[in-house]
Structure 1
Amino acid sequence: MLKLIMLNACLLLLPLFKSKFLWLVSQTTSIFTSFVLIMSYPQTTSISMSPMSIFTDFLNYPLIILTFWISSLMILSSFMTFQNKKSPEMFTFLIIFLNLSLYVCFSSSNILTFYIFFELSLIPTLFLILGWGNQPERLQAGFYLMIYTVTASLPLLMSILFLTYENNSFNFLHSMWYTPHIWYLTKFWWLISITAFMVKMPLYLTHLWLPKAHVEAPVAGSMILAGLLLKLGGYGLIRLSFIFPQNSHNILAPFIAVSLWGAIITGLICLRQHDMKSLIAYSSIGHMGLVISGVMTMTKWGWEGAILMMIAHGLASSAMFSIANSTYEATHSRSLYISKGLISLFPTMSMLFFLLSAANMAAPPSINLVSEISLLTSILSSSAMTAPLIAIISFLAGAYSLFLYVSTQHGSTLSFLNPMALFTQRNYLTLTMHLMPLFIIILKSDILFNWLM
């Protein structure tokens, strides 16, 4: 694992050479690293330690693979940035730097190092939005992103400093952790500890930065936000909940109520959207609401379903943003009222879009189905009163996924559509590389389901 860090650190020097093969080399290196990690997937639940507090287990290893996989697809989807020469060197540097930050954050056993790289990942994301966004509103989107996430992260820093002072250890894998001695402060301390992760996921009521950031970001920014940055919140929440399980159980009810009702409200908002990227962004809030509820139940099925949902959502949502960008390149609009009739021009692309929509609504045989079954079972085990909410969430997920598909693929084709923008091998390759893991992992889902054994 340490060799991979050194390899990615060396890739930071790649943009200095200004080679015409910059796009190809950076993309090939990321996908090659992904295949190396897949081939060396651990067979046991033992923890593999390396120098510099780097470790891997069944929880962070799939997320590390997802980091390199999505990073390679980000570069593949951003070919127009290199073709139009929109500062491709700086663009590549930011993606590689973000890739390295996420890798260290996921694999660090030092809780302070985890926090530093947890926050450091915001900087290249902000530059991607400000530098390569299309609309003037990207300044407001960047402002929302920083204010929400940084403000919520400061209490987490205070909590980490308190924990290290009480326990004399920075190690995530420390066997015994001590909480505040004053019992009536325990809930307040735990609340401020997990607020940063709730905002990052995001929990409904703290979600306003997400649609703005997604809509104004370039395709690479949207893919990294949906595919990886939202998973930082889920990963941190699982790690802390694994250390302090009783604290999450004490505040279970309000968080499940807010996340489930938030998933319903955002599902209804999706049915009223006319912007493709905004619809996909709001759907992410509903999926992450199920992850929050599953983690807070403190059950084995909830935690395993959460990690599987994060992998499934990272692939499906990233692919949805990629195909939305391909449609934008053809129509020069994200409006559902303008992007019409694509099925008559590109039936193969329409089939891939349908498979993505089916995965987004958790249809078989995608891993989204397995993850939702696990999450819904854990949520129902905490309270049978959540059954009506879960039924409505499942119905709305299918409704807005089909609404997005039908709105873009059916209808009469507009005269100013540029069909050749969609007819590229790059678009087909990007979608295929997203779809293959979604439908193949279910054949070996135990590698993600048994990380607690």
Structure 2
Amino acid sequence: MLKTLLLLNIAMFFIPNSSNKMNWMLRKWMLALGVFLSTPMNMFQMNLITTQSLFFSTFPMSTALISLTWWISFLMMIASHKSVLLKNKSPKTFSLLLTSLNLILTLTFSTTSMFWFYVFFEMSLIPTLILILGWGYQPERLQAGMYMILYTVTASLPFLVILLTNNISLNKHITTMNQTINLSNWAYLLMLLFSILAFMVKLPVYSVHLWLPKAHVEAPVAGSMVLAGILLKLGGFGLIQVMMFYHFSSNILFSFLVPMALWGGMLTSMICMRQTDLKALIAYSSVAHMSFVLASALTNSSWGWAAAFMMMISHGLVSSSMFCLSNLAYESTQSRSILIPKGLLMISPTLSIWWFLFCTANVPTPPSISLMSEIMAIPSIIFFSSSLVLIIIFMGMLSAAYNLLVYTTTQHGMLSKTINPFSTPTKTNHKLMTLHLTPLLLLTLNLTKIIM
């Protein structure tokens, strides 16, 4: 199945030169075909399908993330139909970039070579940077791109040095890496810290997160969707992989990083309460959720890893949908301020329902899979250190508070004079929201397959 997906992705590069609309539609429906092919890889047989070869292999976590990659890529094409295709903003180049990014991410999640994992890990920045610079809104996108590259590349360089100094050859599999480690305690501790740092910046966690709000604010809707939906998951995926196959464990380091991650999550939740920029608020909420992913993964328990994995999947869908909704508000008001698009409930009750559903899923509440992930994460963190209970409680309260703030501020109140009353959501917008919500509900029905 993996070979079929890779061949399908490569075929998208050789679509005959035709009109913009035909080129766009062909790539969109080929992505839809990829979604159809990748769904059996994880949803109903997640614990049964494993493919292996010399350089590529899939296991439950990678198959789910590959399927998520194809799903979000398909939704990105739908979300960008009006802003790119109808406005004729180089749609062929745009769809080619999405195809390239989709291929890179599929290879990243399926490679067994740690060196090639690092190469694809960094290559994913190139199409993302071009998306921000080419289809961003403001001149500040140059600074946002510079921040993203500097933070992520600089933090991952020590990890490359570790790979090279441990003689990780081009074809060495991840499962044999732990045989190459023979170091003193301090050297082992430093190697562990620098390996984790590369993924902490990619997640990102508080203190190395400044690039993310800037990138989200300046990115087009497709850029925000791929950043929140997939690229942040590279950090969590890499972290869990390195910990599983390196057999990393350090109570000294983890007892420092877990409280730091949760404390950072609480601080970013407080920042969300003071944000007036809607896209920045959603970006900071992503930082808070990813800090919970880091804390769960670093508990070094099977429950913690399962919770981190489930939270990554649910966050990928929920945050992507939130950025789509914020883009609809931006198209109505031409402003990202949370204070301007008031009274949206009066002009579009159906859109208000979508806001309510995804704000509650972001808290999280039932029946979202996000709730189950937090139910599994909290005990694993408390068993690691019972002193973290208060921070977890405050994070939960603040998460509910800022999501309620987003909903009430945008949907209630007097209708703003800056809103175009005729800019109601189209059938395409409702289809986009439905395609975000459907996998969340289906995954909730298949929790046993995910946990196993």
Query: If the length of structure 1 is used for normalisation, what is the TM-score?
Result: 0.96
In structure 2, give the amino acid aligned to 1:378.
S
In structure 2, give the amino acid aligned to 1:372.
E
Among 138, 149, 159, the alignment partner of 1:146 is 149
How many residues in Structure 1 have an aligned counterpart in Structure 2?
448
Q: How much does 1:180 deviate?
A: 3.8
- Greater Cα offset, 334-343 or 12-21: 12-21
Among 89, 99, 103, the alignment partner of 2:102 is 99
Among 188, 191, 195, the alignment partner of 1:189 is 191
Equivalent residues in 2 for 1:13-162, closer than 5 Å: 13-14=14-15, 16-41=17-42, 42=45, 44-45=47-48, 47-50=50-53, 53-79=55-81, 80-162=83-165
Structure 2 CA distance for partners of 1:377 and 1:29, relative to 1, 3 Å: same
Distance in 1 separating the partners of 2:340 and 2:170:
60
Distance in 2 separating the partners of 1:323 and 1:295:
30
Contact 1:249–1:296 (8 Å) recurs in 2 = no
Contact 2:347–2:424 (8 Å) recurs in 1 = no
Structure 2 CA distance for partners of 1:307 and 1:85, relative to 1, 3 Å: same
Per the alignment, residue 282 of structure 1 pairs with: 284
Structure 2 CA distance for partners of 1:374 and 1:395, relative to 1, 3 Å: same
Per the alignment, residue 445 of structure 2 pairs with: 443
Distance in 2 separating the partners of 1:415 and 1:46:
55
Contact 2:321–2:358 (8 Å) recurs in 1 = yes
**Secondary structure in 2 matching 1:287:** helix
- Greater Cα offset, 155-164 or 97-106: 155-164
In structure 2, give the amino acid aligned to 1:154.
L
Mind listing any 5+ residue stretches in structure 2 that lack a counterpart? none
Q: In the alignment, does 2:246 pair up with 1:244?
A: yes
In structure 1, give the amino acid aligned to 2:164.
L
Distance in 2 separating the partners of 1:50 and 1:32:
24
**Secondary structure in 2 matching 1:247:** coil
**Secondary structure in 2 matching 1:30:** helix
**Secondary structure in 1 matching 2:57:** strand
Which string of whole-angstrom CA distances, capped at 9 and with x for unpartnered residues, describes residues 317-372 of structure 1?
00000110011111111111110101111111101110000000010110000001
Among 261, 264, 272, the alignment partner of 2:263 is 261
Distance in 2 separating the partners of 1:17 and 1:154:
42
Per the alignment, residue 219 of structure 1 pairs with: 221
Equivalent residues in 2 for 1:256-335, closer than 5 Å: 256-335=258-337
In structure 2, give the amino acid aligned to 1:3.
T
- Greater Cα offset, 13-22 or 69-78: 13-22
Mind listing any 5+ residue stretches in structure 1 that lack a counterpart? none
Structure 2 CA distance for partners of 1:115 and 1:142, relative to 1, 3 Å: same
Distance in 2 separating the partners of 1:168 and 1:40:
27
Q: How much does 1:175 deviate?
A: 7.6
- Greater Cα offset, 230-239 or 184-193: 184-193
Distance in 1 separating the partners of 2:215 and 2:137:
12
Per the alignment, residue 208 of structure 1 pairs with: 210
In structure 2, give the amino acid aligned to 1:116.
V
Equivalent residues in 2 for 1:261-410, closer than 5 Å: 261-410=263-412
Distance in 2 separating the partners of 1:296 and 1:157:
21
Distance in 1 separating the partners of 2:129 and 2:403:
29
Distance in 1 separating the partners of 2:294 and 2:41:
30
Contact 1:260–1:290 (8 Å) recurs in 2 = yes
Which string of whole-angstrom CA distances, capped at 9 and with x for unpartnered residues, describes residues 394-436 of structure 1?
0011000110111110111123322333321111111111011
In structure 1, give the amino acid aligned to 2:77.
I
Distance in 2 separating the partners of 1:49 and 1:422:
48
In structure 2, give the amino acid aligned to 1:39.
P
Contact 1:187–1:247 (8 Å) recurs in 2 = no
Contact 2:178–2:247 (8 Å) recurs in 1 = no
Contact 1:263–1:287 (8 Å) recurs in 2 = yes
In structure 1, give the amino acid aligned to 2:5.
L
Structure 2 CA distance for partners of 1:174 and 1:422, relative to 1, 3 Å: farther
Structure 2 CA distance for partners of 1:175 and 1:124, relative to 1, 3 Å: closer
In structure 1, give the amino acid aligned to 2:121.
F
Structure 2 CA distance for partners of 1:295 and 1:310, relative to 1, 3 Å: same
Q: How much does 1:251 deviate?
A: 1.2
Question: Percent sequence identity over matched residues?
Answer: 42
Q: How much does 1:176 deviate?
A: 4.6
Contact 1:16–1:89 (8 Å) recurs in 2 = no
Contact 2:80–2:222 (8 Å) recurs in 1 = yes
Structure 2 CA distance for partners of 1:168 and 1:74, relative to 1, 3 Å: closer
Query: After TM superposition, what 4+ stretches of structure 1 lie above 6 angstroms from structure 2?
Result: none
In structure 2, give the amino acid aligned to 1:240.
V
**Secondary structure in 2 matching 1:364:** coil
Contact 2:156–2:197 (8 Å) recurs in 1 = yes
Query: If the length of structure 2 is used for normalisation, what is the TM-score?
Result: 0.96
Contact 1:207–1:285 (8 Å) recurs in 2 = yes
Per the alignment, residue 230 of structure 1 pairs with: 232
Contact 2:32–2:74 (8 Å) recurs in 1 = yes
**Secondary structure in 1 matching 2:295:** helix
Distance in 2 separating the partners of 1:175 and 1:335:
48
Distance in 1 separating the partners of 2:360 and 2:16:
39
Which string of whole-angstrom CA distances, capped at 9 and with x for unpartnered residues, describes residues 122-146 of structure 1?
0000000001000111000000000
Distance in 1 separating the partners of 2:449 and 2:208:
33
Distance in 2 separating the partners of 1:128 and 1:427:
21
Contact 2:307–2:374 (8 Å) recurs in 1 = yes
Structure 2 CA distance for partners of 1:15 and 1:270, relative to 1, 3 Å: farther
In structure 1, give the amino acid aligned to 2:165.
F
Q: How much does 1:169 deviate?
A: 6.1
Distance in 2 separating the partners of 1:100 and 1:413:
44
